Amino acid sequence: MTEPLLHVAGLRGGYGGKPVLQGVDLAVQAGEIVAVIGRNGVGKTTLLRTLMGLLPASAGTVRLRGADLGRLAAHRRARLGIGYVPQGRDVFPRMTVEENLRVGERIRGGAAPEDYAAVYDLFPILRERRSQRAGTLSGGQQQQLAIGRVLVGRPDLILLDEPSEGIQPNIVQEIGRIAVSLNRRTGVTVVLVEQNLDLIRATAGRCYVMDKGRITAELAPDALADRATVRRHLAV
């Protein structure tokens, strides 16, 4: 077995005195798309924020290509190739599409014109609206912008938090198709937090189930192929 791209062991953390993560263990190989599912409030967003270094871990390790990230700040993790697309998207509403993308460039520390072209090729609507303020875009377009903003930095690992939330089903499908084609073409690794059954099944090769701050099950491709099984775990 090769060294995982991302290896998380015994990870604990939360908010001030409120522990949320109760010892998370998971491993993701380079090139995988892995979903993390579980009902609201079990700690999925807290997990991604802790992996990104936006929240401190109180115990446990996060390894990227075998190297312990320790207490590295988020911008340092971004430089190492981790891109984070937050839940709720968080684009800058008063900045244009292109200005939002440039924020992604600064996060990684430099991008070439072809990095922008690649994002615009992936999301043609963003090219069309490049001079428009992000706040005037639809939810689905803002989601594409949030993903594009991370992609200009050419991450090796993307942490994607509920991209389907509040978005029309046809755009959800399109985002799923784009994620899969990007993964096949560039080998980018994706950790996807999701509740949308169709998006999970369309994108993820396997899936971790989270409950009360821990990983409680892992669904292999055959289990993932069975709608009823996945639905049961989404509703635990």
Q: Which residues bind ligand ADP (CB under 6 A)?
A: 15, 18, 20, 38, 40-46
Reading across the β-sheet that carries 57-64, which strands appear in turn? 18-28, 6-15, 57-64, 67-68
- The nearer residue to ligand ADP, 18 or 94, going by C-beta atoms, is 18
**30 with 190: CB under 8 angstroms?**
no
Task: For the CB of residue 18, give the shortest distance to ligand ADP in the complex, in Å.
Answer: 5
Phi and psi of 16, rounded to 5°? 50, -120
CA distance 4 to 27: 6
- The nearer residue to ligand ADP, 46 or 183, going by C-beta atoms, is 46
Which among Mg ion, ligand ADP, none contacts residue 36 (Cβ within 5 to 8 A by kind)? Answer: none
Which among Mg ion, ligand ADP, none contacts residue 71 (Cβ within 5 to 8 A by kind)? Answer: none
CA distance 51 to 180: 22
Which among ligand ADP, Mg ion, none contacts residue 42 (Cβ within 5 to 8 A by kind)? Answer: ligand ADP
- DSSP-based three-state secondary structure for 202: helix
Told to check if 164 binds Mg ion by CB under 5 A, we report: no
Which among Mg ion, ligand ADP, none contacts residue 10 (Cβ within 5 to 8 A by kind)? Answer: none
Task: For the CB of residue 21, give the shortest distance to ligand ADP in the complex, in Å.
Answer: 8
Task: For the CB of residue 36, give the shortest distance to ligand ADP in the complex, in Å.
Answer: 9
Choose, by CB under 5 A, the member of 45, 141, 143, 164 that binds Mg ion: 45
Residues 86-125 that bind Mg ion (CB under 5 A): 87
CA distance 124 to 53: 32
Tokens 């963003």 label which residue? 126
DSSP 109-157: T---HHHHHHHHHH-HHHHHTTTSBGGGS-HHHHHHHHHHHHHTT--SE
**135 with 93: CB under 8 angstroms?**
yes
- The nearer residue to ligand ADP, 88 or 139, going by C-beta atoms, is 88
- The nearer residue to Mg ion, 48 or 188, going by C-beta atoms, is 48
- The nearer residue to Mg ion, 44 or 77, going by C-beta atoms, is 44
Give the residue at shortest CB distance from Mg ion: 45
Q: Which residues bind Mg ion (CB under 5 A)?
A: 44-45, 87
